[in-house]
Each structure stands twice: as structure tokens, then as C-alpha cells.
Amino acid sequence: MPYYKIDGVTPVVDPSAYVHPTAVLIGDVIIGKGCYVGPGACLRGDFGRITMEEESNIQDNCVVHGFAETHTVIRKHGHVGHGAVLHGCVVGEDALIGMNAVVMDYANIGQGSIIAAASFIKNRFTCPPRSMVMGTPGKIVRSVTDDELSWKQTGTREYIDLTKRCLTSMVECAPLTSLESERPALQTGTHQPKS
């Protein structure tokens, strides 16, 4: 696992969290209970602190960083989609950052909010709880519906389950050279894109 101490500060990872072996954690990074950090994610706590609270997730190829003396926080059940960039911001409890979105310094994403995929959230942006934010620059377009919040929570539960699956069954292996005649199919999730 590529974990790196810098200036005497070592990452902290709760034993119930899963960090993929290709993710990189540097310095002042704190990963809480039941968290998931996906392949290729980079959490650079070499200036400011980064904290993932309980059962939050950061997916593949995300970058998390901040300026000196900032604290980037992903609160409980925060959900950060593939390829997102977080820099010195706070992602509220049960909030979702969509794929390839960018959230800049001192932005504060309210509890239960959704940042749409590919949105750009300017520094010092603040949204109230359950805001739907879209665009470049990101703007609040409406409130998150009960149905949308429930959809988000289902996705987060699947990542909580994925953490457990990874801890118990994911192992490095050599690929097969041909397809098995009775190849099993993964039947683990029911979460689908929102229509």
C-alpha cells in the first residue's frame, strides 16, 4: 500500500476501512470507520488535513488536497464520484459529489446536497442542506427531492457493502487465459442511474 509519512505525520486508517492498493495517502490523512477509497485515488495531506468520516467514500481517480492550514472533510456518508477533485472544502453529511466535479477551497456543501457530475464549484461557495447544484460555475437550481436523496443513500449503502466485500474477498490474482464454461456473474447491487 502506498502510504507516506511526511514531516513526521503519518496517515491514519481505521481497520474497518478499505483503501485500494493503488490509492496513495500522504501525511495528514485520517480515514474513519467503514470508509472506502477507490483505485487510483490520491489523498495528499502534505499541506492541510484530510478527514473522511464514518462510511464515506472516495471513488476511483479522485484527488483530494488543500492549502496549508485547511481541513478538507468528507462527512459521514459523504459520497464522492469517480474522478472528482476536492480542494480544501467540506462535503456535508450524506452529500454527493458527482463524477468529475471540482469543489474548490472553503466551499461548504450542505448536508444531503447533490453536486451534479462535471460541475465546477467556486471557492467559498456555500449551499444550504439538500441543494441541487449544477453547472460551471455551480449554481443552486432547486432542492433535492426525497426520491433523489433516497437514491443517493442507496448508492452510498452499496459502497458501504463494497467496503466489506473488498475487505473479505478482494485479492490480487493472475488473469485467466480463457473464459470458464460456468463463469459466475456478480449479483451484488441493484442501484441504477437516476432517470
Whether 63 is in a domain gets the answer: yes
Task: Report the alpha-carbon distance of residue 164 to residue 42 in Å, rounded.
Answer: 21
Task: Report the alpha-carbon distance of residue 41 to residue 63 in Å, rounded.
Answer: 6
The answer to whether residues 30 and 49 touch, using CB atoms and an 8 Å cutoff, is yes
Helices (H), 2-47: none
Please write the tens of the pLDDT for every residue from 21-72. Answer: 999 999 999 999 999 999 999 999 999 999 999 999 999 999 999 999 999 9
Please write the tens of the pLDDT for every residue from 132-175. Answer: 999 999 999 999 999 999 999 999 999 999 999 999 999 999 99
Task: Report the alpha-carbon distance of residue 108 to residue 146 in Å, rounded.
Answer: 21
pLDDT value of residue 85? 98
What's the DSSP call for residue 88?
Answer: S
Domain that holds residue 126: 3-143
Whether 152 is in a domain gets the answer: no
Whether 156 is in a domain gets the answer: no
Closest of 75, 16, 13 to residue 43, by C-alpha: 13
pLDDT at 115 over 70: yes
pLDDT at 1 over 70: no
pLDDT value of residue 184? 85
What's the total number of domains in the chain?
Answer: 1
Whether 157 is in a domain gets the answer: no
Give me the CATH number covering residue 129: 2.160.10.10
